[in-house]
A and B are shown apart, each in its own frame.
Chain A
């Protein structure tokens, strides 16, 4: 059982990150207006380049595996496409930015390359998703906006494998599936379960979050026939568009903010709970199978409260301090602040704060995702094997983990 690879890459939150195709390089935004390129050196990551062009926090990064282009989106309402070029004078390899005409008047929140890498989508606070493609004639990236019927900030996007459909999760409590068909770029797509005729901005599906939470994350299954979304009402919804059948899994714990599919019947979600949880199911029903963070419990003597069914990840030391203050009149809070007591505030999970982003890391020979990576507010980057929980599945069978 391979233990998760843990890298503490920063003391500040990892706002966004993306690996390149061979996973030797990594682009990260560490809560700043500059993106850094880190290169693997042994068991560590070294800064090898800095992408500075944005004025404000970079909210999202995507690194196209085939074309090796990086796209960054920022709160300064701009997006840049970065291309690796050789400087003609010095001969050094540098990342050259190209401004994208996104035309949004609010912050960009998320950016993703389409599967064919000829388009990308920029989600924004301007109630729009900008679909950008390269205009050969004018030699720059132009955009077209998906507007209707989005009523609030778009928080997350995901491309359908057919390069045309796009899922968008928004703060108006809805997940939607749009057609992002661009005439000059796309061939007429084959009919899918989401629809047949798909001109630009066709709304192929609109799904409410079950208890009215912002939709933090959306994801198409590998085949593109199923959509999953995580919302702030501590639930995951899985949508089968024929029907439509919407399956809701209510979480026992805090909301998930990010999810990714690893196989046609498996997805991994993570969020405020600080641990990636694997869900499995089919049209008949879905359930949480277990946490990928399970391997760490063996090492720690203290059982994780969130796993043993106690309420949340209630920190017993903080709880005890206040209880003592209440019942015994003890006023000391030193056990929380003293260096000796620092262990007490440590969470039993590997990530010590919210996981903000989970992405596929490595694929197995059968096309399923064998490893996923997570980045969190604690500045950690962790690579998990999805097989770990599979093996644990039977052991977890009798456990209450909802």
Chain B
């Protein structure tokens, strides 16, 4: 058999005009360390809000300025978003979703799809995710789903 190694050569790196993934969206202006410390701080705030039963503020805090993009995996995992969704506190999902800012609704949808992409993970139950998805789609429409699909600022 002929040598096939040449098939594995990444020819794109020789192309000066190549469009990199990182060029398709604006990176977070904060540094990676800053993002991580912000995320940890957020986690404490979220816990306080949750203990007071203020679910809307807790959810908004998680969604607002959520870490996105590459190289911030640790920060992304920091506020245990999915854990709290299953909580009994979230009885009035439609009401909460409706009071969210449209931008945060988009971010929430991103988290729902992220959850769906992690099957078998212990802290997420699919039925909970589907309930959230249904309620959110009723409020924010299919447009919200389209925005999650196009957006490269993945959470």
Contact = CB atoms under 8 A, between A and B. Distances in A.
Contacts of B26: 208
Contacts of B142: 234, 252-254, 311-312
Chain A binding surface SS class: loop
A39 interface: no
A234 B137 CA distance: 14
A402 B143 CA distance: 9
A213 B17 contact: no
Contact of B146 (A151, A173, A234): A234
Contacts of A251: 141, 143
Contact of A151 (B19, B106, B144, B147): B19
Given A211-B147, A211-B150, A250-B102, A173 B25 contact: yes
B143 A173 contact: no
Nearest to A171: B19
Contacts of B12: none
A233 interface: yes
A212 B150 contact: yes
A281 to B, nearest CB: 15
Interface string B95-114: 00000001000100000000
Interface in A248-283: 250-255
B141 A402 contact: yes
A229 to B, nearest CB: 14
Interface in B133-151: 137-138, 140-144, 146-148, 150-151
Nearest to A173: B24
Contact of B24 (A127, A212, A234, A311): A212
Nearest to A255: B146
A232 interface: yes
Nearest to A311: B137
Task: Assign chain A's interface to a size class.
Answer: 20 to 34
Nearest to A234: B143
B110 to A, nearest CB: 10
Contact of B147 (A172, A208, A233, A312): A233
A232 B146 contact: yes
Interface of B is mostly: helix
Contacts, number: 73
Contact of A212 (B19, B140, B141, B153): B153
Given A232-B146, A233-B150, A311-B138, A212 B25 contact: yes
Contacts of B10: none
Given A151-B19, A151-B23, A211 B141 contact: no
Contacts of A250: 102, 106, 140, 143-144, 147
A372 B24 CA distance: 34
A312 B140 CA distance: 10
A311 B144 CA distance: 11
A243 B108 CA distance: 30
B152 interface: yes
B143 A252 contact: yes
Contacts of A211: 106, 147-148, 150-151, 153
Contacts of B25: 173, 208, 212
Nearest to A214: B150
A231 B146 CA distance: 11
A152 interface: yes
Contacts of B143: 234-235, 250-255, 402
A172 B25 CA distance: 9
Contact of A235 (B138, B147, B148): B147
A212 B148 CA distance: 9
Nearest to B106: A211
Contacts of B141: 251-253, 311-312, 402
Nearest to B148: A211
A298 to B, nearest CB: 24
Which of the listed residues B17, B141, B148, B153 has the most CB atoms from chain A within 10 Å of its own CB? B141
Interface string A206-231: 00101111100000000000000001
Contacts of A312: 141-142
Nearest to A127: B17
Contacts of B102: 250, 402
A274 to B, nearest CB: 13
A172 B137 CA distance: 28
Contacts of B24: 172-173, 212
Interface string A197-212: 0000000000010111
A255 B147 CA distance: 9
Q: Which 8 A-B pairs have the closest CB atoms?
A: A252-B141, A234-B143, A312-B142, A213-B150, A211-B151, A211-B147, A251-B143, A234-B146
Interface of A: 127, 151-152, 172-173, 208, 210-214, 231-235, 250-255, 311-312, 402
22 contacts: A127-B17, A151-B17, A152-B19, A172-B23, A208-B26, A211-B147, A212-B24, A212-B151, A213-B150, A233-B146, A234-B142, A234-B146, A234-B147, A250-B143, A252-B141, A252-B143, A254-B146, A311-B137, A311-B141, A311-B142, A312-B142, A402-B102
